[in-house]
Chains A and B, each alone.
Chain A
């Protein structure tokens, strides 16, 4: 067997053709080697090529197979008619191959262009027409060797590319429901007077904000702050720094018993009101996977760089040598010094500098049963999401941000389980990674309750003014009594509640095949994105985080100004 397969070096050589194949076929396509002296063929995701042929023939064989895919020649409805009919398949390939190449002509490398027989290509204008020609009794010469062959069975067995976007789990039949999403969106945005968390409407929230979590951090004291650099916040004359703190954190939700769990309301889209104390969330310690020593603590997907610029607070620095504005106090003092005859200090500008790390992130990892389904690239959605969660945790932790990671699944409204893989106070160590690896997907996902609990933990324990909730989920919100439309509306509601309170929300779907429409339904106006492959994460994550944080910042600013007014009123 091993004699028949190419050596590793040659295999790598073929894999390098993957980009060219993808360009020619207009979609992701890999190249792999196969047995010596077999004709080339494809299963729709990979082109198999004899590694022994020389480079020009290899290129031609590849171009033919990729062009067949690009031209739709290998679509299910045509291929089905070719199954177990080798003679017809050969005649079809002889005709359709030329058509596909001709259709792809603008992209064909020079060495391949000579392959096209425009006379044959002119006989047909679609796969169906080619099939018709192949069925006629015309004299059709056998296709050239480099055309390879069509393995109808393999193509039918492989998941066709065109159909992968369908959601894998067909949802239960839902009640016939008029489309009320737009209306619901509007309600989400303007709902100031009903309370999402119990305990008063807008006024209540205002009071809570005034009396509850107020924490002003002194110099160098913000959680995870970098060591002070040479730039000082203000010059020596600025006077004493002071800290005012009227209450410690986390004072107002202590009533909930840890054992019984915390209850959260749920939005009932059908009756258009909340069901108070509807869901019970319990925190259950996850079981670490024993004996797992794989660390995975490195900055796996290059996330550190795009994340480094985020969540950095703007500091207004007084008495700088250069800046946007004149520090009037410093300028007057300098003027006085001049008049008094001594040398003035030239640092008389105000500058706003980004340097303060000011970000707490809570990652919510969906470990319901649906994520154990295989994704588009071999790994299950769970494996990909888990890898992303680990990469985020490590990268954010390295940057000095506050970060926590909770996994969730549910079994009905009374048993929503959140598993703290890493709490804010835990260090990032092997135990965290082992807990993460010990997670086994199962049960359902009551997304709304998980989001509400995550947002609450983030607000109570985050300790920074910028907060970001990242939901890693396949977007299929489903549980007992939590069917698709209802669940989507509740999840959307929970996200908008979190945003109202100044927590940015970002929903990421990694490697799953949930369609965009469904995701929009669940995640609403929160920033959300589908990342097809993990290695694409680093490219997208910067703008996504920024947009999620920005949307929360606007809310927070409004709230802060409301606070200021309320304080002045006192």
Chain B
């Protein structure tokens, strides 16, 4: 939903040229797709960009029962009359805000088709039920994100949708940058942050060995925040990193061994 700007810029550390690319695409009225694993900073990036560009941001978390009506709007009954209520996408188009559809592949494919005339040069939103076509106001920008996932065979986002967008790829930041992010977000010292990041990087190497999801920057920050509250590194990593990653007892015990190897408690 529309987020009003607070005074501070959302904390985002650029990894490459993604900020220039996004701003260029915004000025040219192009739509943007953000690709990357979960928890690598896609949502935070959009928040930072909305702040820099001084546009409000409307975020829609997509799920697999999201219908076109959920995005565009629907008639409701009030008294004896029908009343049209705009959906988030329609509101963004009318008001010229940045509309961010998070995890767009989760939405039903017939739903994403409504984005097509908006995403290409037309920048229009036809509203069938009202019989009108809205032109997008200045400052409207469509941003979608998705996680390409573990197998390239899953072509979940339709080609016709993808080709209407500028793609920005995200990956986990380099260890130094990530250490900086973890330390800054959670307010822990650099040594603890470095240990967590090294542990996270070791887990990421396991993708090939059968772990479906790996430790994201988000879970590392969560662990660091628990550490800032006084938990030990090992406790924090166990509940914030290992627990969310797997339900499997054998994998859990393997990860706990990794915690013991990587996270060393300072003596005393």
Contact = CB atoms under 8 A, between A and B. Distances in A.
Q: Do these two chains really belong together in a complex?
A: yes
Interface of A: 16-20, 22-24, 26-29, 59, 106-107, 109-111, 309, 324-326, 331, 335, 338, 348, 352, 354, 527-529, 532-533, 535-536, 539-540, 543-544, 546-547, 550
Given A19-B257, A20-B254, A23-B203, A28 B153 contact: no
A536 B210 contact: yes
A107 B153 CA distance: 30
B262 A533 contact: no
Q: Is the interface of A mostly helix, strand, loop or mixed?
A: helix
Interface residues of B, number: 42
A540 B213 CA distance: 12
26 contacts: A17-B254, A17-B257, A19-B206, A20-B254, A23-B202, A23-B205, A23-B258, A24-B205, A27-B208, A27-B209, A29-B209, A59-B261, A107-B198, A107-B201, A107-B202, A107-B205, A109-B198, A309-B64, A324-B74, A325-B74, A325-B129, A326-B82, A527-B153, A528-B153, A535-B210, A536-B210
Contacts of A111: 261, 264
B156 interface: yes
Interface in B182-207: 195, 198, 201-203, 205-206
B176 to A, nearest CB: 10
B156 A543 contact: yes
Contacts of B109: 550
A107 B194 CA distance: 11
Nearest 6 CB-CB pairings of A with B: A19-B254, A22-B209, A109-B261, A23-B202, A324-B69, A23-B205
B150 interface: yes
B255 interface: yes
Contact of B153 (A18, A24, A544): A544
B121 interface: no
A326 B175 contact: no
In this complex, the member of B80, B109, B153, B155 whose beta carbon has the largest number of chain A beta carbons within 10 angstroms is B153
Chain B's interface: helix, strand, loop or mixed, by majority?
A: helix
Contact of A22 (B75, B156, B205, B262): B205
Contact of B208 (A26, A324, A325, A544): A26
A539 B150 contact: yes
Interface string B126-162: 0001000000000000000000011101111000000
Given A106-B175, A107-B198, A547 B258 contact: no
A109 B262 contact: yes
A207 B258 CA distance: 64
A403 B65 CA distance: 26
A28 B154 contact: no
A24 B257 CA distance: 13
Nearest to B256: A16
Nearest to B129: A325
A540 B154 CA distance: 9
Given A325-B74, A325-B75, A348-B77, A16 B254 contact: yes
Contacts of B69: 324-325
Nearest to B209: A22
A479 B256 CA distance: 50
A33 to B, nearest CB: 15
B258 to A, nearest CB: 5
B67 interface: yes
A550 B105 CA distance: 13
A20 B195 contact: no
Contacts of B154: 527, 543-544, 547
Interface of B: 64-65, 67, 69-70, 74-75, 77, 80, 82, 109, 129, 149-151, 153-156, 175, 195, 198, 201-203, 205-206, 208-210, 212, 250-251, 253-258, 261-262, 264
Contacts of B153: 527-529, 544, 547
A352 B74 CA distance: 14
Given A107-B205, A533-B210, 4 more contacts: A19-B255, A22-B209, A23-B258, A544-B151
A304 B251 CA distance: 21
A115 to B, nearest CB: 13
Contact of B209 (A19, A338, A544): A19
B15 to A, nearest CB: 17
A107 B258 CA distance: 11
Among the interface residues A20, A529, A543, which one has the most CB atoms of the partner chain B within 10 A?
Answer: A20
Given A109-B262, A326-B82, A543 B210 contact: no
Given A19-B209, A107-B205, A324 B80 contact: no
A150 B227 CA distance: 41
Contacts of A26: 205, 208
B151 A540 contact: yes
A389 B170 CA distance: 37
Given A528-B153, A543-B154, A354 B65 contact: yes
A19 B258 contact: yes
A107 B206 CA distance: 12
Contacts of B74: 324-325
Given A19-B255, A543-B156, A547-B156, A110 B262 contact: yes
A24 B209 CA distance: 11
Nearest to A338: B80
A501 B107 CA distance: 26
Contact of B261 (A20, A352, A535, A546): A20
B82 A16 contact: no
A57 to B, nearest CB: 13
B27 to A, nearest CB: 35
A365 B185 CA distance: 52
Contacts of B250: 16
B254 A110 contact: no
Contacts of A110: 195, 262, 264
B206 A22 contact: yes
A526 to B, nearest CB: 10
Contact of B202 (A20, A331, A533, A547): A20
B57 to A, nearest CB: 26
B212 A20 contact: no
Contacts of B156: 543, 546-547
A116 to B, nearest CB: 15
A442 B222 CA distance: 54
A257 B25 CA distance: 65
A529 B254 contact: no
A334 to B, nearest CB: 8
B197 to A, nearest CB: 10
Contacts of B255: 19
B75 A326 contact: yes
A326 B77 contact: yes
Contacts of B67: 324, 352
Contacts of B253: 16
Contacts of B261: 20, 59, 109, 111
Nearest to A546: B156
A59 B203 CA distance: 16
